[in-house]
Amino acid sequence: MLLTVSLILAFGATSYASTPFKSLNIKYHVSTDATNWFQAFINCKSAGMELASITTQEEQHNLEHFMKEHGYNEGYWLSGTNLGDGNFYWASTGTKVVYAKWLQNQPDDAKLAENDYKGENCIQWGIYRSSPNPIGWNDLMCKYQLKYICQDYSYCSPASNFVK
């Protein structure tokens, strides 16, 4: 059963499917609204979460299973971007994208009239309009309106790691 929880943010109301799904101590939230990559990043931050980053094959596999099981089959923003030095980084953590699950022929940085021939700089899960099997990533123009995946996890350190 999916519950929808409305969160009032500085930029308006945003809804998340709050199906509890935890993977490797990460809880994912899938939005029900669509927005550009920048606003998705802000919306996740405003809700106390991060736009999702996938750093291991296990995270990818667990999220794939969750998305398929709940019928999420569109394109969804992840936090990856190459707007800095041209390499892909996870904006939510500042770390370089090392593990990747690109769809065939991606990333292609397509330079089209609709993006003023500037290319594609943000990572989406699945395909923009519809993806019957959203199991890989695509680069896309950051201005597209997509739903997005936020992640929530806590950082805990054993007391022995603290310096006195």
Residue 9 lies in a domain: no
Q: What is the pTM of this model?
A: 0.78
pLDDT given at position 133: 64
pLDDT given at position 67: 86
pLDDT given at position 141: 94
Residue 96 lies in a domain: yes
Question: How confident is the model over 13-30, as pLDDT tens digits?
Answer: 344 444 444 555 788 899
First to last CA, the chain: 47
Q: Quote the domain boundaries for residue 133.
A: 18-154
pLDDT given at position 157: 44
Residue 6 lies in a domain: no
Of 84-88, 113-117, 135-139, 142-146, which range is least confident? 113-117
106 closest CA partner among 77, 74, 133, 139: 139
Q: At 8, is the pLDDT very low, low, confident or very high (cuts 50, 70, 90)?
A: very low
pLDDT above 90 as % of the chain: 51
pLDDT at 75 over 60: yes
Cα separation, 92 vs 150, in Å, equals: 10
Q: In CATH, what number is assigned to the domain containing residue 37?
A: 3.10.100.10
Cα separation, 30 vs 25, in Å, equals: 17
DSSP β-bridge partners for residue 39: none
pLDDT given at position 161: 41
| Count of domains forming the chain | 1
Residue 103 lies in a domain: yes
pLDDT at 11 over 60: no
